Structures are given as C-alpha cells and as structure tokens.
Amino acid sequence: RLVATTVERHGGLHIAFNNAGILEAGPLADMDEANWDRQLAVNLTGVFLSMKHEIAHMRVHGGGVIVNTASNLGAHMRLPFLGAYAASKAAVSALSRAAAKEYIQKGIRINAFSPGPIDTPMSLRPGETEDDRTTRMKDALPIGRVGTLDEAASAVLWLASPEASFAVGHDLVLDGGATA
C-alpha cells in the first residue's frame, strides 16, 4: 500500500490526514528481513516522511493539525503473529506524541488515531467474507462488531477540529472495547 496523505483546509487550519498501514501476520522467527523492513517502511517511515513535509508546509502557512493513523495493536495491545505490525504502529504512536511536544509551540497540533477493526478490506482475514467477519466479531470484540467508516472519520475529524484544540499528543483508541 502507498501512503496516502491529503492536506485540507478547514476553518483556517491546514489538516493533514494519512492512512499508512500494512498488516502481515506470521511468527517472527519465520518472517524474513524484507517483510519486516517493508512493514517499517510503510507503517513508520511513510508516516515520518509525510510528517516531515506536512510540518514544513504548516510552518510556512501558519500552523495546522496532523492526525496520524496508528493502531490499537502496538502501543495498546499485542497479538501473536503480528509483532512487526504492532512494533511499527507503536512507533507511530510514540513518534506522533514526541512530535506533538516539539511543534505545538509553532502552532502545529499533532495527534494519533488508533483504530481497531474498521469496515474495510484490512479487517477481513484471507478468504473471509463480510458475513464471516460479522460472525467472528460477535465474540472477538466487546461491542460485537467492527467499527464503521463514519465512526472512524468522526473520531479523526474531532481530533482535527477546533473543539479538540486542547488535545495535544493524544492517541485516540477506537476499537469497540478490545483494549478496555
């Protein structure tokens, strides 16, 4: 997957959204170095490079908001066979929080969003149908379902909004109670 970053102007602020992430499962002992490198390249280096350019743009244009996509897997929860993914997403959370302290005085507010399973192809296991996933999620998450795209978008938009202007370096977990 390619890193998709968009910068939009809302209410006088430049808001950058990026949704980098790959999820590949397997035991660490069986994972080859190229796969580990690829996970880090997309999930962490992609976010770092996006932030580098977003921050440069925002410094010239009077500030803004960055919301990075981490995951509930990583800083908040770990699962077997997802070590590389969890490590890369935990690093996104840490990077976002450190950068938030560095740039808040320059008018750039940075937060992270850590979703659990959301109604996208990434929440489907290989060969799994949406009906299969619905059945699996009834027992897998306390809420009993995957999150909707509207729920995820609303959370991210809140983090980027003026109403969340006191949220700096926050990592908002939206996962139906998986990490509660």
Give the catalytic positions in this structure: 85
Supply φ then ψ for residue 125, to 5 degrees. -75, 160
The tokens for 15 are 């808001």
* Contacts for 95 with CB less than 8 Å, ≥ 6 apart: 44, 47, 48, 51, 68
Amino acid at 31: M
3-state secondary structure of 6: strand
> What's the rounded Cα separation, in Å, for the pair 90 and 85?
9
3-state secondary structure of 125: coil
> What's the rounded Cα separation, in Å, for the pair 53 and 154?
25
Amino acid at 60: V
